[in-house]
Amino acid sequence: MAKTKYNLHLKGYVGGWDFDSDYVDFVLNKNTDKEVAVLIDSLGGQLNTALSISSAFRRHGNVHVHFVGMNASAATIASMGAKRITMDHSAMYLVHQCSQSFFEWGSLNATDMQNLIDNLEKQKSDLNKLDANVAEMYAGRCKKKSADLLELMKMGGWLTAQEALAWGFVDELTEFDDESAPVLTEAIAADFTAHGIPLPKMLTDTKSEDVTAFRRFLQACASVFHSQEKPNKIVPTISSEEKMKKTYSNICKTLACDSLEANDDKVTLTTAQLDSIEADITAKYKEITNLSADVDRLTKANSDLEEKLKKLPADTTNTVVDDKKDGGTNTEKSDIEKFYDTTNSAQALFDSLP
């Protein structure tokens, strides 16, 4: 088979910068009157992006999708709108149920628990609808019953290229003379295990004798969190990562958000968010510098004034105000007292800064 020149290379996270629906629309609109060849190599991502891309392929009407490497989840859904789908003979294919991140921690009373149960029931209902919708898309492509595809999604597990062809997910398998099977490295195996994706039976990078033991260790770790009752019972998520919301009040105030999502004790920020934090810190430092300069200026002025006061002759008793006379009080402060009050206020403001 002749090698294809691809108009689009969709790799990485579905919904990320290299698998973006807006860019797909741009390329399709530039090639409305001819076939658009699309290369896909992705472990999945956002369902909404996958649905958008699938619809864009269908509206164009002449899209050829070719799968290479290991493709799972949302990446397979994105291809459903293509006119023709091919796949490398050595590539892998995975479908599974939709899921979403969930984390709840706290002390709940009976009412709180019931509210949580009601909310989970609603989320479960929504996920069932998403699964039914995706199963219907697969069934339309595979010319099979939706119930059969839904059962396959519940089982999860990797399909070989031959199995994907037998199911009807792809129309043709390709094989080039220089085509090599994908290699499961330690980094890829760790990524699979962290996201709950089962490790396929395939060639492993054998640069060291510890790789096999390393894979067994990863699978043992994964078994703590994923049921091992059936070999293919592990259900990966569409989002491809478990997230936990954490609140950092000062940072969230700067970013104008309620909370940040942490994955494996790591928080990912966009360039725009980092720019906001940098600008806020710069402004705070500038404010501190200005206040510090004000304090230094007022301190020096205070010292100069004290020196001048020492050199002034003593005042006569004729100019002294008698605060006790007739029970009255002297409410007006002198210039020196006002100056001291201003200095003390500036110092207190500077000391209160974090």
- What pLDDT was estimated at residue 279? 83
Paired sense of beta strands 8-14 and 36-45, if any? parallel
pTM, to two decimals: 0.53
- What pLDDT was estimated at residue 231? 41
Q: Please give the CATH number for the structural domain made up of 8-242.
A: 3.90.226.10
CA distances from 245 to 82, 126, 263, 284 (A): 37, 21, 9, 27
Listed in order, strand segments (DSSP E) in 31-77 are: 36-45, 63-67, 70-72
For the chain, give the number of residues: 354
CA distances from 146 to 76, 133, 240, 245, 335 (A): 16, 9, 24, 35, 88
- What pLDDT was estimated at residue 16? 94
Is the separation of the CB atoms in 214 and 187 below 8 Å? no
Paired sense of beta strands 92-94 and 70-72, if any? parallel
Token pair, residue 62, equals 């002449």
Would you list the domain boundaries of the chain?
A: 8-242, 244-312+333-354
- What pLDDT was estimated at residue 197? 62
Mean pLDDT for back-to-back runs of 10 residues, the chain (354 residues): 84 94 96 96 96 98 97 97 97 95 90 95 97 98 97 95 97 72 61 58 49 56 49 42 57 73 71 81 86 88 83 62 54 74 78 71
- Find the radius of gyration of the CA atoms of the chain: 34
- What pLDDT was estimated at residue 243? 47
Cα angle: 147, vertex 149, 155; to 5 degrees: 105
- What pLDDT was estimated at residue 242? 40
Q: Exposed, middle or buried by CB within 10 Å (0-12, 13-18, 19+), for 342?
A: middle
